[in-house]
Structure 1
Amino acid sequence: MTSPFVEATPAARHAAFAELAAAGPVRRVTLFTGVHVWLITGYDEAREALTHPDVIKGKGGDGPHRDSVPPDLAAAMDHHLLGSDPPDHTRLRRLVSTAFTRRRIEGMEPEIRRIVDRLLDDVAAAGGHGATVDLLATFGSPLPLTVISELLGVPEDRRRDFQEWTAVAINGSVHPAETFVAAATSLITYVRELIAHKRAHPSDDLISGLVAARADDDRLSENELTSMVFLLLVAGYETTAHLICGGVQTLLAHPDQLDLVRAEPDRLPAAVEELLRFNGPAQVTIPARTAAPVQIGGVTIPAGEVVVPAPLAANRDPRQFPNPQQFDITRPPASHLAFGHGIHHCLGAPLARLEARIAIGALIDRFPHLRLAVPPQDLRVQASMLINGLTTLPVTVT
């Protein structure tokens, strides 16, 4: 059976997940890495797995190249929300939420709009006279990288380094062990330097807020700080870039829906939700393990097994979404799993939604003649365990 994680085109990836789902919503499969996991492609089954008390996180123990990662580096990456369970998770979320507030996110909207306008000026200049522009390189990637860097307080001259390190860190499974360890080491080393600087010179940014975060005389440890900044950088940049570009790709493939959004901009929030359902940026969630035998979807998963819910497949489950292969921004609201579910629902979901709404809305308004510069079948997706993202998005804007 084909592995969706190494498929070359968007259509082939979705077709591979559909083939797996048709064989059963809970299946034991062998990943391209050689690891055996229980892949969960059904919507109800994925929701159950994401909330089951005996499906637990393993402090990063199932991450890429763990036999090659030094213990101090693993500790500096793994003590975050996605790698913990209650009561540790409850404590961490309470502390992080005191700094990563909705007010802080909403306060970034004017700055996000300024960044978007500046980047669209660059797109217009690069795409003059019908020249082809890679929208991922010129817009989709720079926007969330700039936003998360400004949110965290990362200086502009180090952002390109962060982009290179996170691209390897989030797709560690497809890189050699030494490449992954080198990128993760560079990233954590700089995060430690940045935290030390913010501790000595606090300012109005998220890292300063995390350093100062307190709840009932409790505060984040050094490994928890580095892990949270690591998580925010990797998750806050890469996934949002592919939400934006995957969304543009999907709209261009459905011109009737694109025309509807242009004619009725108030539909943008609903359009973003449908984009998340139809072609979200996360193939699967962070792996977990069974602490005891668990029955999901009529299948008993033994204790000690790796469990991997797959939102990209679950969000096209026909038992939950009528005509799931149809992209329809007028679809009645329904709860997708693009941001996870339960206690591990993505803390940064409001920021990702805000960036996507602003970015896609401004882009399609600025460039009414936006078109793909290549046939749709020539688009390629990156090989990845986690990310559903294009390698490039060539377009013309005039």
Structure 2
Amino acid sequence: MTSPIAPFDAEYLVDPYVVHRKLRESAPVHRVALPDGTEAWLVTREADVRRGLADSRLSSDKRSSSTGYRGFALPQVFEAHLLNTDAPDHTRLRRLVAHAFTRRRIESLQDRIQAEADRLLDRIAGREQADLIAEFAAPLPLTVINDLLGVANDDRERFRVWTNTLLAPDPNEPRQAKQAVVGMERFIVDLVAAKRAAPADDFLSDLIAVRDAGDGLTESELVSMAFLILWAGYQNTVEFIGKAVLALLDNPEQLAALRKTAPSVSDSAVEELLRYAHPSQFAIRRFPTEDITIGDVRIPVGETVLLGTASANRDPLFVPNPETLDLWRQEKSHLALGHGIHYCLGAPLARLETRIAIGSLLYRFPRIELAIPRDQIRWRSSFREHGLHALPLFVGD
């Protein structure tokens, strides 16, 4: 077996799409070394990634790993969620969670999202500069997700600090990440207990009702789902709003056209931004339950497989001119939110937040510009998520 390549270097952290293109053009599957020293198989092309996402032989359950894969060092109580399970457990969990994650509940959040977006933009108005991440892209989804789960206002700042620590851990302070995980575990366990004692009209209270009605949601599954909704709903939305705005600034003709429609943002524009700028570079890791062949490459049972969704979304065999942002592109298909049984349950909420956030920003500040040179933008040190540390903008008239 050939030695693995190490593609996740400094160049990758700045622009992973350049690296993805090189890998995609050279082979459909690569054996790669991950930053933590472990190895994986990276699938690069859209057709193979799409098939892989729907292939029941590719398990999401860590117990299917033959190499002792651990990934993030999370408490066991956080592990029993949708992204770590296969059918039939996944089918049962998704059905139970979908019972609480209804279209009615998502639609009911629209006015609250709009009000919070307006409030945050009001705080920026009248100034020359603002950091889009710290002052808008981060607090907006934090408010939305905490509203969805029914987290009290006084508790939200603690969660934000823990999440930021886990998103960009300080290698010189390893204890900070461990403390953040411990703090988050206690917080969510206590939150579940509080909601059980005093239910309200929120998503978490609905999940507790499902659990206590004896429909098959265990206590660990309940806590794990609360964690997944908090983490994924916050992290991905923060990073996506920031990257989407930067993509528009990088494409002034597209930005000018979108400004003319603000505060309305079309479904077509949202789907193209998801394809072009979604922060997730891979689907959740998979483990073959038998020896399989992808792109003429044999992958042994139990080894780690990374399905490159970001690479797939820019595959020229899948979409014409994939490196071009075209908000009115006719082909709207992409893999940014997954495919198959693990398709993102929160996709309607992600789309709603994106439409409101970007439309409101462009309507309120029609002349936003980068406040620093483009090459001074700093990216988070994660090979899995391509996210911004900050996005300083000129917002004044």
Alignment TM class, shorter chain as reference: over 0.9
Superposed displacement of residue 3, structure 1: 3.0
Distance 1:385 1:175 in 2: 19
Moved more, 258-267 or 148-157: 258-267
Please give the secondary structure, in 1, of the residue aligned with 2:266: helix
TM (norm. structure 1) is 0.92
Q: Give the aligned partner of residue 161 of structure 1.
A: 158
Q: Which amino acid aligns with 1:396?
A: F
- Match in the other structure for 1:3: 7
Contact 2:13 2:383 in 1 (8 A): no
Q: Which position in structure 1 is the counterpart of 2:87?
A: 86
Distance 1:9 1:288 in 2: 23
The Cα shift of 1:350 comes to: 0.6
Report sequence identity in percent.
43
RMSD: 2.1
Q: Which residue of 2 aligns with 1:197?
A: 194
Q: Does 1:250 align with 2:247?
A: yes
Aligned partner of 2:50 in structure 1 is: 47
User: Could you tell me which residue of structure 1 aligns to residue 125 of structure 2?
Assistant: 124
State whether residues 279 and 387 of structure 2, in contact with CA within 8 Å, keep that contact through their aligned partners in structure 1.
yes
- In structure 1, the residue corresponding to 2:125 is in which secondary structure? helix
Check conservation: 1:8, 1:383, Cα contact below 8 A. Answer: no
Alpha carbons of structure 1 residues 98 and 53: separation in structure 2 relative to 1, 3 Å: same
When structure 1 is superposed on structure 2, of 207-216 and 141-150 the one drifting more is 207-216
Indicate how the Cα distance of structure 1 residues 157 and 19 shifts in structure 2: closer, same or farther if over 3 A, else same: same
1:64 is aligned with what amino acid?
Answer: G
The residue aligned with 1:312 is: 310
Residue 64 (str. 1) matches residue 65 (str. 2): no
SS at 2:367 equivalent = coil
Range 53-62 or range 112-121, more displaced:
53-62
Q: Check the 8 A contact 1:39/1:309 in 2, yes or no.
A: yes
Q: Displacement, 1:288?
A: 1.4
Q: 1:291 to 1:168 in 2, by over 3 A?
A: farther
Structure 1 unaligned segments of length 5 or more: list them: none
If the length of structure 2 is used for normalisation, what is the TM-score?
0.92
Please identify runs of 4+ aligned residues in structure 1 that moved more than 6 A.
172-176
Name the CA shift for 1:329/1:59 in 2 (closer, same or farther; >3 Å): same
Q: Which runs of 5+ in 2 are unaligned?
A: none
**What is the CA-CA distance between 1:46 and the residue it aligns to?**
0.8
Q: Which has the larger displacement, 223-232 or 156-165?
A: 156-165
| Aligned twin of 1:101 | 102
Per mean C-alpha deviation after superposition, the further-off stretch among 90-99 and 14-23 is 14-23
Cα deviation digits, residues 322-373 of structure 1 (max 9, x gap): 1111111111133111111100011111101100100000100110111100
Aligned length, in residue pairs: 387
| 2:348 aligned partner | 350
| Aligned twin of 1:229 | 226
CA contact (8 A) 2:211 2:222 kept: no
Match of 1:30 in 2: 33
Query: Structure 1 residue 215: deviation in Å?
Result: 11
Measure the CA separation in 2 of the matches of 1:102 and 1:175.
44
Is the Cα contact below 8 Å between 2:265 and 2:355 reproduced in 1? Answer: no
Query: Distance in 2 between the 1:348 and 1:151 partners?
Result: 11
Matches within 5 A, 1:262-281: 262-265=259-262, 268-281=266-279
Query: CA offset at residue 176 of structure 1?
Result: 6.7
> Over residues 219-238 of structure 1, what are the superposed CA-to-partner deviations in whole Å (9 max), with x where a residue is unaligned?
42110011001101110001
Residue 180 (1) aligns with residue 177 (2): yes
SS in structure 2 opposite 1:213?
helix
Deviates more, 1:199-208 or 1:376-385: 376-385
Amino acid across the alignment from 1:111 = R
How many angstroms does 1:172 deviate by? 6.8
The 1-side partners of 2:25 and 2:174 are apart by 34
Q: Distance in 1 between matches of 2:192 and 2:56?
A: 34
| C-alpha distance after superposition, 1:126-183 (max 9, x if no partner) | xx1x2x3111000000000010001101111111111122234456797876443322
User: Residue 6 of structure 2 contacts residue 33 of structure 2 at CA under 8 Å; is this kept in 1?
Assistant: no
SS at match of 1:326: coil
Q: Which residue of 2 aligns with 1:145?
A: 142
Residue type of the partner of 2:16? R
3-state SS, counterpart of residue 300 of structure 1: strand
* Counterpart Cα distance in 1 of 2:53 and 2:110: 31
